[in-house]
Amino acid sequence: MKQTRVWLKRSLIGAVLVLVAAGAAVVAVALSTVPSLTGTQVLPGLTQPVSIIRDRNGVPHIIGTTVEDLYRALGFAHAQDRLWQMELMRRVGQGRLAEIFGEQLVDTDIFLRTLDLAGHAERSYERFPADAKALLEAYAAGVNAFLERPVGLFESRWPPEFLVLHHKPEPWRPADSLTLVKVMALNLSANLGPEIQRLTLAAQGFSPDEIEDIMPLNDGENPPPLPDLSKLYPLRSLGPGRRRTAALDNDIGSGASNNWVVAGSRTVTGKPLLANDPHLRLSAPSIWYLVHLALEGSERANLVGASLPGTPIVVLGRGDTIAWGFTNTEADVQDVFIEKLNPDNPEEYLTPDGWRRFDVDVMEIRVARGETRLVERRRTRHGPVLPPQFRNLGRILGQGYVAALQWTALSDDDTTVLAGLFSPNIRTVSDWIERTRHYVVPMQSMVVADMAGDIALIAPGRLPIRHLENQIAGRAPVPGWEAKYDWQGYVAFEELPRTINPPDGVIGTANARIVSRDYPHHITYDWDADYRHRRVAELLAKRDKHDMATMQAVQLDVFSPAFAELAPLMIAAAKAAVSEEEDLRQLLDQVERWDAQMRSDAVEPLVFMAWLRETVQAVFADDLGPVFRQFFRPQAKALIRVLKGQASGRDWCDDINTPARESCGDILAAAFRRAIADLESRYGKDRAKWSWGQAHYASGEHRVFSTLPLIGRYFIVGTASPGGPYTLNRGLVEFDSEDPFANRHASTLRAIYDLSDLDNSLFMQPTGQSGNPFSRFYRTFETSWSEGQYIRIPTDPAEIRREAIGTWRLLPN
């Protein structure tokens, strides 16, 4: 027995030692994937040595004598910190995700390859001038220098994602950078979703009035009446069952943002202040990479801001005398055309001039651990024919009809990148506006200010002109065989929206209407809900003089104008029905006293959001049936319309599945009961422990490791966060998810620029500079972002040296 115990003890000790050794080996391999902060590397093509000095926040200060040299070093730095992000975005643009991830992404690849973003990027690049090609080639050479660098005995060549997936990246090519810009355009494409949503509703038999109830426009938008789409082309109901979704559905058309600029006449310093916070889907790492480029040759200039890894562009930022920020204009630059097939020859489709053959080629979709697929790709005169599985188009459209997409991004002369390349000559507002002539897509509302005191708004990009007889005006798919629906060209650059030095000294945008009603060109009817837009104007008007502190306060504002309007309507409807239920009545009274501030430490935002979730489901799910899930999100405008008695399509509160006729009060009271029960099941019965931030944690998911069982959550970057879907400090939720109150879509950058001293400008992003989960810089800003803190990125050499924690020296060969 004694020998047995000794044997067991030794075996246990041995097992523990084996586990410890195995764990140590895993840790050693993980840490070997983190690039050193200090080193020396020969970079062929450099004219002079370049330094990459990283500060305590992991922000690189890249110092060189030519723009080409700076771009070589930027490519190297991007690859050091964000290689997996770059590879993943490139694969999205190329439609080659299934080569890594297998069968589950075949449909996604088919859709992306159908668009041919990489092909359009390649053909556009071939038209670039030689000087621009040289800059893009320099950037690509920097990326490849990292890929091909010599590595030490205990150093991994690749980040951990490549090791886990047994994947080796291909060399970076200059056109790949253009492909990534196309991917951003796809993420920000605002019209494809609403068009197909209206088509889907029409296929389910909803009338134009009912569609307007479900998808209400902002007040003051008065489009022509939407026709009955089923009379334009045959449609089929989806029937029961869940809508088929693709991996990128949550990313397409998901952009929003705030920006504003205040003239010196309205600031304490007498110089402009400019603020910007783009809202995109949260991820780990954040999409942006903060950087400082310092040109110290015959010309001296600084460029500081948020770069897009995979491209050499500082998309949002400032120079030595100028600053700029973007929001998505929400412009309607996409149209879906329903094409009619020739019943005698399905290789042809109908045009105003008769039948025409499709342009056809075959796509080769390679699949990891699976068979290669050969898929036919067809194009019409409007653009590519969308796959039938994309958002169920094949099930919705009648037999003999397909849908083709026309979109400004699908062009072979896209010069957008030229508008973003580093030029020391861009020093004034007028310089900036002139450079945007190159800009094509995605159309952005750009605010800009210079140290001379000028401020401006310009919304550049190709804006389609639609025929006056086109009464649908971009809201839904149109018959491709009728000439009146064809685009009539593009709005001239000189006629695109712009405002320069307005009399009141303020310009602000938040994805809502940016032009007056008498603007002569159609931009869209599907502007984003205008709550944030109006809130920016309200807060900026409150003060005669602004400073950096007031800019921060506006950017971090968590008041929800939508909920301030909706909550009293919901409470009034439900109050009588719960008056006899003391516990619920007290909670309802608490919500009634709420100030509509979406504070992280408050319970009322959580109670109201849970109630809103149950209400949206109770009011609309029975009517929408199989298409409800695509509308299952906070529907403030639609509910306000219903509760104010403005809905004209039907009685949405009545449950069509019961013989009784329910009132809105009945439905909302029952929804409130279910909401409280749901919260108790999620967070416990002790309501003193409930808080909005607890439920509304920022969910920046790593695009591989967050899906791992048991340990996946450790790779999510994010903590308790304030805000909501209609606040300036935005935080979108996804009701149809396991964590329906988590913050999925929020500010991916906060920046405030002080034109009296641009080194005083402030920055913040939600994750860290590194995309490597084992790097100390993976989640650097996680708490700071949530708490509304900022960092400075200085350009003074002495301050940079004081803050330095590591330096790479890149040398010519």
Look at residue 3 and tell me whether its pLDDT is greater than 70. Answer: no
CA atoms within 13 A on the CB side of 564: 13
Tokens representing 55? Answer: 């500060």
Tokens representing 41? Answer: 């590397």
Look at residue 244 and tell me whether its pLDDT is greater than 80. Answer: no
Query: pLDDT-based confidence at 153, cuts 50/70/90?
Result: confident
Amino acid, res. 19: L
pLDDT of the residue at 317? 98
Exposed, middle or buried: residue 360 (CB in 10 Å: 0-12, 13-18, 19+)?
A: exposed
Q: Region 275-294: what's the mean pLDDT?
A: 98
pLDDT of the residue at 252? 77
Query: pLDDT-based confidence at 152, cuts 50/70/90?
Result: confident
Look at residue 19 and tell me whether its pLDDT is greater than 80. Answer: no
**Which residues, including other chains, have CB under 8 Å from residue 325's CB and lie 6 or more apart?**
259, 261, 274, 275, 276, 316, 446, 447, 448, 751, 753
**Per-residue pLDDT tens over the stretch 189-200:** 989 999 999 999
Per the listing, tokens 């990326």 go with 143
Phi, psi of 318 (to 5 degrees): -150, 155
Share of the chain above pLDDT 70, in %: 95
Q: Under a CB-based contact definition with an 8 Å cutoff, are residues 544 and 564 in contact?
A: no
pLDDT of the residue at 241? 54
Mean pLDDT over each residue of the chain, to the nearest integer: 95
**Which residues, including other chains, have CB under 8 Å from residue 87's CB and lie 6 or more apart?**
162, 167, 169
Torsion on CA atoms 308, 727, 512, 260, rounded to nearest 10: -60
pLDDT of the residue at 557? 98
Chain centre to alpha carbon of residue 483: 34
User: Mapping DSSP to helix (H, G, I), strand (E, B) and coil, where does residue 309 land?
Assistant: coil
Query: pLDDT-based confidence at 2, cuts 50/70/90?
Result: low
pLDDT of the residue at 678? 98
Q: Region 372-382: what's the mean pLDDT?
A: 98
Look at residue 463 and tell me whether its pLDDT is greater than 70. Answer: yes
**Per-residue pLDDT tens over the stretch 100-127:** 999 999 999 999 999 999 999 999 999 9
How is residue 8 annotated by DSSP?
Answer: H
Look at residue 167 and tell me whether its pLDDT is greater than 60. Answer: yes
Look at residue 25 and tell me whether its pLDDT is greater than 90. Answer: no
Q: Region 793-804: what's the mean pLDDT?
A: 97
Residue with more model confidence, 25 or 398 = 398
Q: Region 445-452: what's the mean pLDDT?
A: 98
Between 27-31, 64-68, 310-314, 338-342, the lowest mean confidence (pLDDT) is in 27-31
Residue among 484, 548, 602 nearest 758 (CA): 548
Per-residue exposure over 598-613, b if at least 16 CB sit within 10 Å of its own CB, e if not:
bbbebbbbbbbbbbbb
Please report the beta strands in 199-288, taking only residues with DSSP state E, as ranges in sequence order.
256-262, 273-281, 283-284
Look at residue 617 and tell me whether its pLDDT is greater than 70. Answer: yes
List Cα–Cα distances, 629 to 2, 90, 242, 660, 694, in angstroms.
65, 30, 8, 25, 25
Query: pLDDT-based confidence at 439, cuts 50/70/90?
Result: very high
Per the confidence metrics, is the pTM higher than 0.85? yes
pLDDT of the residue at 579? 86
Exposed, middle or buried: residue 313 (CB in 10 Å: 0-12, 13-18, 19+)?
A: buried
User: Mapping DSSP to helix (H, G, I), strand (E, B) and coil, where does residue 479 land?
Assistant: strand
Tokens representing 249? Answer: 């559905």
pLDDT of the residue at 231? 97
Q: How far apart are CA 313 and CA 305, in angstroms?
A: 10
Look at residue 21 and tell me whether its pLDDT is greater than 90. Answer: no
Per the listing, tokens 């200039």 go with 301
List Cα–Cα distances, 104 to 29, 245, 246, 326, in angstroms.
29, 11, 9, 35
Look at residue 26 and tell me whether its pLDDT is greater than 60. Answer: no
pLDDT of the residue at 297? 82
pLDDT of the residue at 369? 94
Look at residue 240 and tell me whether its pLDDT is greater than 80. Answer: no
Q: Under a CB-based contact definition with an 8 Å cutoff, are residues 211 and 372 in contact?
A: no
Span between the terminal Cα atoms of the chain, in Å: 72
pLDDT of the residue at 254? 65
pLDDT of the residue at 304? 98
Evaluated on CA atoms 178, 179, 181, 182, the torsion sign reads positive
